Chain A
């Protein structure tokens, strides 16, 4: 059920766009209005989420560290795992965001004969996660080709590196293969590992299926069921320059691709995917471990009316004396 529901959700989306474009001729809706709305939702939603996080105080200094903190001069500090200053934090965040440092530590618990417990390193999650995210980024950057006539030089470089195997025409992009393989692995891992399956929710499967469908439709369109790419570019250039046009005769698969990615964009800020922004705001990562050097005042602290012992004694002095309780002030 947890898997089937998101699967049917994605299938419904595809049916929706096919019905809308193929039978109801709503090219303008699916080709222009929905993409604009999706991008607007994405930007506004993400800003909203970040503002909301930023308005929650972090009462305590809670960096999670895994290295020696700054201490006596002759004890070597682990500057990246337990940073004490901004520079270290930036380095640590960069490792986390660009290389998923903490996933690299992922370990697997094994029950061996005995029974004996063994911990082994488990790098597959890290590897496929990294492969997936980097492929996604490169693919996203590559799509800039559809939104500019004069491509900036770095994007040409990325494109030619990505296709440098020069397999076939149109040339096979390495990231296209990698992303499909990585997402498939991540999905299979989710359903075959009982522990992970147990904690998986529809909100975990839905983005997986959606991304798989987005990448799948893109691959299908580029290598198999071709569409009129000149028409596609007219549409995308129209979108980017706010002079929307909807050329006739672009294949349906393009609208499926566009609609699914629009859904992904719109869904992004309100789902787990927002960890793209959230990773930068994780207090356990983005705080320096200077707990013993700097006094951190809880931003929640507000003047509390304190009833001191002195006041208490003033209130009850006579009663206390009458039952023989010693008082400080006679």
Chain B
């Protein structure tokens, strides 16, 4: 091998870059997020049902929120017909967070796991929670 010093240095850098994620996350305790739905409002519900079926909400709630926002802010339309024909007021704070008043244990439990930080709470007010 020619220039072995440089070649080996280069290859070591390459291997270090590739293995960085493995080293960085080694031994991480992977706990599947369990969003809690035991809020007072939800507990009073006869049928525990979100605005749409659970699988849809898991995958599409961000899209749904975006559609709500566009609908309210652009068209002034605040009525959303959800699953089973039930009507909702399209509002992040007054509808979603009314039921899911435990933002930290619900929304954030997933979002921390996903390392996403929705910027919505820069402006919208998160529900007051007793536990910090």
Give A residues with C-beta under 8 Å from B: 39, 42-43, 46-47, 50-51, 54-58, 144-145, 147-152, 166, 168-170, 226-230, 233-234, 237-238, 240-243, 245, 249, 251, 277, 280, 299
| Residues of chain A within 8 A of B14, CB atoms compared | 43, 46-47, 277
Q: Does chain A have a CB within 8 A of B130?
A: no
CB of A47 within 8 A of CB of B11, answer yes
What number of B residues sit within 8 Å (CB to CB) of A?
Answer: 37
In B1-55, the 8 Å CB interface with A consists of: 1-4, 7, 10-11, 14-15, 18, 21-22, 24-28, 30, 32-33, 55
The answer to whether A54 and B1 touch across the interface, beta carbons within 8 angstroms, is yes
Q: Could you pull out 12 A-B pairs where Cβ atoms are within 8 angstroms?
A: A46-B14, A54-B1, A55-B1, A145-B114, A149-B30, A149-B112, A229-B59, A230-B58, A234-B32, A241-B27, A241-B30, A280-B10
Q: Which B residues touch A237, using CB under 8 A?
A: 25, 28, 30
Kindly state whether residue B121 has any CB partner on chain A within 8 Å: no
Asked if residues A234 and B21 are in contact (CB atoms below 8 Å), the reply is no
> Separation in Å of the B109 CB from the closest CB of chain A?
10
A148-B21, A249-B55 are known contacts. Are A234 and B30 too (CB-CB below 8 A)?
yes
- Inter-chain pairs besides A170-B63, A241-B28, A280-B10, 19 sampled, C-beta below 8 Å: A39-B18, A47-B14, A51-B11, A55-B1, A147-B21, A151-B115, A166-B119, A168-B66, A169-B66, A226-B63, A227-B59, A228-B58, A229-B59, A229-B114, A230-B32, A230-B33, A237-B28, A242-B22, A249-B55
B96 close to chain A: CB less than 8 A:
no
- Find the A residue at minimum CB distance from B65: A169
| Assembly CA distance A169 to B92 (angstroms) | 13
Alpha-carbon separation in the docked complex, A167 to B60 (Å):
16
B62 close to A (CB within 8 Å): yes
The answer to whether B4 touches A54, judged by C-beta atoms less than 8 angstroms apart, is yes
B1 smallest CB distance to A (angstroms)? 5
Contact A54 B3, beta carbon cutoff 8 Å = yes
Q: Is B99 an interface residue (CB 8 A)?
A: no
CA distance A201 to B113 in the complex (A): 44
Docked-complex contact A55 and B2, CB < 8 angstroms = yes
Distance (Å) between the CB of B12 and the closest chain A CB? 10
In the complex formed, the residue of B with least CB distance to A245 is B30
Inter-chain contacts of A149 with B (CB < 8 A): 25, 28, 30, 112-113, 115
B2 contact from A150, A170, A234, A299, Cβ within 8 A: A299
Which A residues are CB-close (under 8 A) to B2? 54-58, 299
In the bound complex, CA of A50 to CA of B55 (Å): 47
A150 to B112, CA, bound (A): 8
